[in-house]
């Protein structure tokens, strides 16, 4: 993971005091919507940085646009300014940016100062950036230079887009995506344990696209022993920048370790594999696994729920933005019990398995009362032939 400073949680909205009271009109909504759509093009390439888009407008016409393409590369504002036919075109334009322009030197110069130097007269921002080195400083820089600023245009949409980044900055841990495929009667395997395949090729292709976008894929030892998976992203007809980080593979090992003959271990030198090791693991052949290229994270916790909480904090310190769970019912049960599932991708296949012994997606003891259920909201649903994918995000109920 990139070596960036670990952010501290911030109290409240750092841009709240800088937000002016300009009315948001349809024009601002329209162009900010364009900037947010541009930002989405950076998904999977910019983490742990946020996805950001920028649109430059003069007299109601777009004259330049850009987005943050990959981690360490130019920011959206720079890309937009570079897209102009000439630098002079920036004078007097309105810049629509989906996140507060940065004000510090990192891997790139401060974007807020570049907008000032270019002669931009107005900057419309969807949301303030809670990252401690920005946290309203970009807006202050713009305002002190006489640039008109408007903050909060399509803020909810911008926060939705960068929810994993915000989770990392505010909570210090990665965004967790739980993915599973199940039958119409809620089974992830038959009574004998067969699970391939519940869904068809088109739905499985979408899973590989998600794998290519996240920072890490996690399974438990039960899945390793039962399926001997590779957990690599095999995406057809897509072109990925070879310089971008490869999705890492993580195995939660509470009691056991994988065999050196497993597909994960045999491919560890090509695609990173990290073992998340509890103190109860028989560690005699850890040295052999590490000699094969496997890395390890050692936990102090012995209980599965505490292991999840500890592991996510350690991964957050390594600047991991999002982690996808492809483990079986036991691993999902641990994350469920720890209340550490932020998003679910549920694939529904047109099959019925039946049987009391056929597993559901989440094991464990579960809950006793419906009122204690974790609450989610439907974000999207999409059919793939006879299969259906539904995406849900966690709803945090305020006490």
What is the rounded distance in angstroms from the CA atom of residue 116 to the CA atom of residue 100? 14
Strands 61-67 and 53-58 turn out to be: antiparallel
Calculate mean pLDDT across residues 105-110. Answer: 68
pLDDT at residue 243 greater than cutoff 60: no
Domain range list for the chain = 16-161, 173-395
Whether the pLDDT of residue 308 is over 60: the answer is yes
Residue 245, pLDDT score: 60
Burial (CB count within 10 angstroms: exposed 0-12, middle 13-18, buried 19+), residue 146? exposed
Predicted confidence (pLDDT) at residue 218 exceeds the cutoff of 70: yes
Q: In this predicted structure, what is the pLDDT of residue 125?
A: 94
Residue range 16-161 in CATH 3.40.140.10: yes
Structure-token pair, residue 245: 């980080």
Q: Quick one: pLDDT band at residue 397, thresholds 50, 70, 90? A: low
Q: What is the pTM of this model?
A: 0.85
pLDDT at 83: 92
pLDDT at residue 4 greater than cutoff 50: no
CATH 3.40.430.10 fits 173-395, yes or no: yes
Is residue 6 pLDDT above 80, yes or no?
no
Return the pLDDT at 244.
55
Determine the pLDDT at residue 240. 47
105, pLDDT greater than 70: no
55-84 confidence digits (pLDDT tens): 999 999 999 999 999 888 889 999 999 999
Q: Which residue has the tokens 């529904």?
A: 348
Active-site annotation holds for 77? yes
Token pair belonging to 65: 């646009």
pLDDT at 242: 46
Q: Decide: 2 and 28 in contact? Cβ < 8 Å.
A: no
How confident is the model at residue 108, as a pLDDT? 63
Of 47, 77, 310, 326, the catalytic one is 77
Has residue 234 got a pLDDT over 90?
A: no
Percent residues over pLDDT 70 in the chain = 89
């Amino acid at each position: 993971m990139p070596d960036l400073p670990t952010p501290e949680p911030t109290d409240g909205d750092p841009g709240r005091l800088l937000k002016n009271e300009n009315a948001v009109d349809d024009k601002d909504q329209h162009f900010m919507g364009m900037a947010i759509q541009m930002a989405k093009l950076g998904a999977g390439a910019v983490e742990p940085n946020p996805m950001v888009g920028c649109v430059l407008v003069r007299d109601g016409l777009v004259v330049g646009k850009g987005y943050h393409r990959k981690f360490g590369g130019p920011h959206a504002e720079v890309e937009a300014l570079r897209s102009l036919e000439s630098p002079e075109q920036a004078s007097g334009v309105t810049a629509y940016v989906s996140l507060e322009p940065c004000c510090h030197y990192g891997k790139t110069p401060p974007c807020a100062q570049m907008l000032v130097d270019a002669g931009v007269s107005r900057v419309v921002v969807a949301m303030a950036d809670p990252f401690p080195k920005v946290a309203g400083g970009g807006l202050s820089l713009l305002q002190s230079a006489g640039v008109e600023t408007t903050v909060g245009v399509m803020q909810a949409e911008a926060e939705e887009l960068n929810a994993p980044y915000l989770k990392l900055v505010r909570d210090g841990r990665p965004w967790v995506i739980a993915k599973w495929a199940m039958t119409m009667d809620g089974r992830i395997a038959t009574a004998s344990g067969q699970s391939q395949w519940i869904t068809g090729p088109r739905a499985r292709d979408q899973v590989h696209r998600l794998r290519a976008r996240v920072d890490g894929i996690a399974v438990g030892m039960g899945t390793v022993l039962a399926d001997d998976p590779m957990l690599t992203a095999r995406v057809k007809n897509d072109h990925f920048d070879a310089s971008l980080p490869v999705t890492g593979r993580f195995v939660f090992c509470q009691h056991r370790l994988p065999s050196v003959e497993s597909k994960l271990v045999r491919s560890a030198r090509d695609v990173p594999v990290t073992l998340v090791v509890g103190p109860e693991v028989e560690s005699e052949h850890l040295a052999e696994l590490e000699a094969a290229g496997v890395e390890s994270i050692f936990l102090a916790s012995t209980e599965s729920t505490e292991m999840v909480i500890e592991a996510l904090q350690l991964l957050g310190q390594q600047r991991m933005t999002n982690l996808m769970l492809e483990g079986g019912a036991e691993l999902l049960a641990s994350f469920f019990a720890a209340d550490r599932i932020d998003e679910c991708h549920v694939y529904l296949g047109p099959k019925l398995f039946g049987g009391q012994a056929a597993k559901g997606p989440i094991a464990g003891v579960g809950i006793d009362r419906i009122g204690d259920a974790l609450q989610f909201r439907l974000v999207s649903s999409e059919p793939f032939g006879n299969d259906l994918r539904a995406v849900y995000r966690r709803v945090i109920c305020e006490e």
